[in-house]
Structure 1
Amino acid sequence: MAEVGGQKLDIVIVGAGLAGLAAAISCALGNHNVCVLEAAKELAEIGAGLQITPNASRLFRDWGLGNEIETIAAEPTLLAVHRYSDGKILAEEKEFNEKMRRKYGSPFIDVHRVDLQRIMYNKAKTLGVTVELNCRVSSIGRSPTGPEVTLESGRKLHGDLVVGADGLWSKCRECLLDRADKPLPTGDLAYRIVLELDKITDPELRRWVANPQVHFWIGPHAHAVAYSLRAGTMCNIVLLCPDDLPSGLSKTKGSVSEMKRLFSGWDPILTRFLDQVDEVDKWKLMHREELESWTNPRKDLLLIGDSCHPMLPYLAQGANSSVEDGGVLGRLLSYVKSKDQIPWAIRLYEDLRKSRSEIIARETFRQRDAFHMPDGEAQRVRDSLFASQLGKEISVKFPSRWTCPEFQPWLYGYDAYHEADEAVKSQPFQAEAEVCRRS
């Protein structure tokens, strides 16, 4: 890691979402100067639930945020998958909280995005990170000393490294590619709902929320997920179904009656939850084609998070993988002691992060296929496989990757700092090799 006396880099991060704040925290802990540029005029109090899996909660612990985040979280004791029509349990993982901690040494927790962003923002500020709001990027070019960020106001900022963490509609991605590049529809949309416990009138539903759990209902071309937030005082529900929004509209207020019609005939527990809903938002789910590279040739502009690997929410890894990105980036940069080492660190970053993130993104589509099967022969085969493992230690490749013994350890067991440290050990900086690569 960065030694006292090593050269501090000036790092400009575009975007103060979870990816940008994770990178800011990790880079600041690596002993570098960090400035975060956020287009919004304020960090708005908006958002809904997030499932933070051990691959990300491990990093929050590394950053000294574990206890603070767990205090405002809900830790599910059970993860269950239900058949859509009657609520029949297809898969069930009891003592889920204990198993996660025992297997991975870090918890699986459900949090409100606003709470997590606030905690991360405060940590970044404590570490000396500068966060500037109302800063919308116009272009990213070069100056004699390095990359140059030009804002729409005309102001120019310089740094040794620019990190594009500006999300799905990334301007930094366009600057990297030197062309317009809009997100693509996935064919799905999401109804997002947050219910407060004290406003839920149904006693049985109140018990579900107060005892934190994760429940999926899977059905033809659609599924639903519900889990508790804020220590069981709030419930987050997401309904995933075919997209019917026009091409130019990515988010709108949804119709509660339309939503309830779409999910009529589903498990009465779910429909009773939907009876508690007064308003709902409707989001088009988008994705991106894979890029050949996340960095420019000089390795002083790179992308992280949704700007380079947005994901369907079906494995809850959009936020988690973005936090991984920030963790790996900052850890690698902690070994950088001079500007000429930046390309080496960024090359390692891309080697570590690109293939893993793209695998996860592809798996989200496969999880959709497994959860959205229409009734028929393939669905019956799937449910038979579910039934064969119910009440047992799962021993086969499983339709639900959430508890699959092959996929879950690869996903949740990832230790970002360890991976970065091992990469540095196996590929140490060699000045002559870097000069050859850059020339």
Structure 2
Amino acid sequence: MSLNIIIVGAGLGGLATAISVKQEKPDHQVQVIESAPALAEVGAGLQVTPNATRLLKRWGLLHSLEKLASSPKEFTIHRYSDGALIGKRDNFGEEMLAKYKSPFWDMHRADLQIGMYERAKELGVEFKFGALVTSTELETPSVTLSNGDRIDGDLIIAADDEIKDRELRHYFETPRVVLWAGPDCHAICYPLKGGSLINIVLLVPDTLPEGVARAAGDLDEMLEIFRDWDPRLRSLLSMVPKVDKWKLMHLNELQYWSNPEATIAFLGDACHPMLPYLAQGAGSSLEDGAALGVLLSTANRRQDLPEILKLYEQLRKPRSSALQERSKVQRHINHLPNGPEQRARDTLLKQQFDEPLPGYPFYWLDPTQQSFVYSYDVYEEVSLAPNARCILR
């Protein structure tokens, strides 16, 4: 028997769930409802770390996406003010591949999203674009669209410039991740699309009005905030044609990821918003979708869903909580004000950059923290969980 699954949102988490469900159990009917008229380039670049690329490989996407991604050859950290080099890691991408048997990529979010969308279509997932959900009926369960159409199912899943400067061009001819850490702010940039595009993310104190999550930024304000930073960063920022402001929401994860009737489930930012300091927003959403898809593949009737959704939450919640907490800690470390604590951080970063020890103040390189994030295999966790073995019979 099969289930009819409605996924609200064609973001990375929604697409991951759709792919995972259909790949594990083709008989399930999966429909993705997206309010946007088409997939659009939103969010620019992102890091796809080994725990996430491991999933892309399982879904048959690694080869097709590889040509659209960049594996960083270098990872450098600079002092914010004068650009002094704190540490440089050569062959970073190769190191990650050798250690975790899965690549570390920098890529455009749209390239990843479109690749996953195409794979989902190959597997038979149905898509409805330009469809705004205006109400949800959990007893049925069903969703009603803005045009009045009603869609019934067994389960609803809420997933909802060229560089001309010669020095800078040379600096980014080699794929690399560059981070500047300063008081209350940090900047990170890396090349996308074969070096034709540079993604720059600036983390600064929030100045958006209450209730505003996204707005056009002011170039002069951006330049003023980073006025005393590394000249190379300021040169990059001087070429930016426009800037967007996105509010980073400091929200706790949901207490429950599904309702008692097991007619709706949440994943990704819908239940555990992730700050970007460990680059795990996308990865954790893919992990959620993979886990949910595997578990749903065991369902043959609606009555199976309560046990499945309870197990999904039990498996995923501890890790998402840990990632949220570690990301908050990394934010604090990155944004230390000038002073003794900042100087101690920089000294330790420099002393151990080549061979970090546990407790290293940059979690991306701390051997314990890095392994916790990158070595994780969600399919393995699901298969080994005692309760899961009862379901995956």
Whether the 8 Å contact between 1:312 and 1:361 is mirrored in structure 2 is yes
Distance 1:118 1:11 in 2: 21
| Alpha-carbon distance, 1:425 to partner | 6.7
Distance 1:430 1:273 in 2: 52
| Alpha-carbon distance, 1:155 to partner | 2.1
For residues 250-301 of structure 1, the C-alpha deviation after alignment (integer angstroms, 9 at most, x for no partner) is: 2222121221111011111111111221221122212322221111012231
Whether the 8 Å contact between 2:13 and 2:267 is mirrored in structure 1 is yes
Gaps of 5+ in 2: none
Q: Give the corresponding residue for 1:80.
A: 76
| Alpha-carbon distance, 1:400 to partner | 0.8
Give the share of equivalent positions with the same residue, in percent. 46
Q: Give the corresponding residue for 1:380.
A: 343
Distance 1:324 1:46 in 2: 21
Q: Give the corresponding residue for 1:403.
A: 365
User: Does residue 311 in structure 1 map to residue 274 in structure 2?
Assistant: yes
For residues 226-252 of structure 1, the C-alpha deviation after alignment (integer angstroms, 9 at most, x for no partner) is: 111112222101111111111132222
| Alpha-carbon distance, 1:134 to partner | 2.0
Indicate which of 105, 111, 122 corresponds to 2:118.
122
Whether the 8 Å contact between 1:348 and 1:423 is mirrored in structure 2 is no
Whether the 8 Å contact between 2:382 and 2:388 is mirrored in structure 1 is no
Q: Give the corresponding residue for 2:64.
A: 68
Q: Partner letter of residue 125 of structure 1? A: K
Whether the 8 Å contact between 2:12 and 2:282 is mirrored in structure 1 is yes
Q: Partner letter of residue 131 of structure 1? A: F
Q: Sort the Cα spacing of 1:424 and 1:39 in 2 relative to 1 into closer, same or farther, 3 A.
A: farther
Q: Give the corresponding residue for 1:233.
A: 196
Whether the 8 Å contact between 2:138 and 2:263 is mirrored in structure 1 is no
Q: Partner letter of residue 150 of structure 1? A: T
Whether the 8 Å contact between 1:332 and 1:424 is mirrored in structure 2 is no
1:183-222 map, 5 Å: 195=161, 199-222=162-185
Whether the 8 Å contact between 1:164 and 1:302 is mirrored in structure 2 is yes
1:99-114 map, 5 Å: 99-114=95-110
Q: What's the TM-score, normalizing by structure 2?
A: 0.95
For residues 110-154 of structure 1, the C-alpha deviation after alignment (integer angstroms, 9 at most, x for no partner) is: 1111111111111111111011012222222245xx422222333
Matched length: 391
3-state SS of paired residue (1:286): coil
Whether the 8 Å contact between 1:224 and 1:239 is mirrored in structure 2 is yes
Of residues 118-127 and 334-343 in structure 1, the stretch that sits farther from structure 2 once superposed is 334-343
Q: Give the corresponding residue for 1:292.
A: 255
Indicate which of 262, 270, 284 corresponds to 1:321.
284
Whether the 8 Å contact between 2:16 and 2:289 is mirrored in structure 1 is yes
Q: What's the TM-score, normalizing by structure 1?
A: 0.85
Whether the 8 Å contact between 1:19 and 1:319 is mirrored in structure 2 is yes
| Alpha-carbon distance, 1:207 to partner | 1.9
Q: Give the corresponding residue for 2:42.
A: 46
Indicate which of 51, 55, 58 corresponds to 1:59.
55
1:132-281 map, 5 Å: 132-143=128-139, 146-166=140-160, 195=161, 199-281=162-244
Q: Give the corresponding residue for 1:178.
A: none
Q: Sort the Cα spacing of 1:430 and 1:415 in 2 relative to 1 into closer, same or farther, 3 A.
A: closer
3-state SS of paired residue (2:204): strand
Q: Give the corresponding residue for 2:390.
A: 428
Q: Partner letter of residue 216 of structure 2? A: K
Distance 2:33 2:334 in 1: 39
Distance 2:284 2:90 in 1: 26
Q: Give the corresponding residue for 2:10.
A: 16
3-state SS of paired residue (2:186): strand
| Alpha-carbon distance, 1:322 to partner | 0.5
Distance 2:261 2:390 in 1: 19
For residues 365-406 of structure 1, the C-alpha deviation after alignment (integer angstroms, 9 at most, x for no partner) is: 111100000001111121221122133x21231111111111
Q: Partner letter of residue 203 of structure 1? A: R
Gaps of 5+ in 1: 1-6, 167-194, 432-439
Distance 1:59 1:290 in 2: 23
Q: Partner letter of residue 154 of structure 1? A: G
Indicate which of 341, 345, 356 corresponds to 1:394.
356
Indicate which of 413, 416, 438 corresponds to 2:375.
413
Distance 2:289 2:207 in 1: 34
Whether the 8 Å contact between 1:209 and 1:234 is mirrored in structure 2 is no
For residues 344-382 of structure 1, the C-alpha deviation after alignment (integer angstroms, 9 at most, x for no partner) is: 221221111112112111221111100000001111121
Distance 1:381 1:57 in 2: 34
User: Does residue 35 in structure 1 map to residue 31 in structure 2?
Assistant: yes
| Alpha-carbon distance, 1:424 to partner | 6.1
Of residues 28-37 and 219-228 in structure 1, the stretch that sits farther from structure 2 once superposed is 28-37
For residues 42-87 of structure 1, the C-alpha deviation after alignment (integer angstroms, 9 at most, x for no partner) is: 2223330010001111000000000111110111011121110122
Distance 1:14 1:41 in 2: 14
3-state SS of paired residue (2:248): strand
Of residues 244-253 and 46-55 in structure 1, the stretch that sits farther from structure 2 once superposed is 244-253
Q: Partner letter of residue 96 of structure 1? A: F
3-state SS of paired residue (1:285): coil
Distance 1:14 1:430 in 2: 26
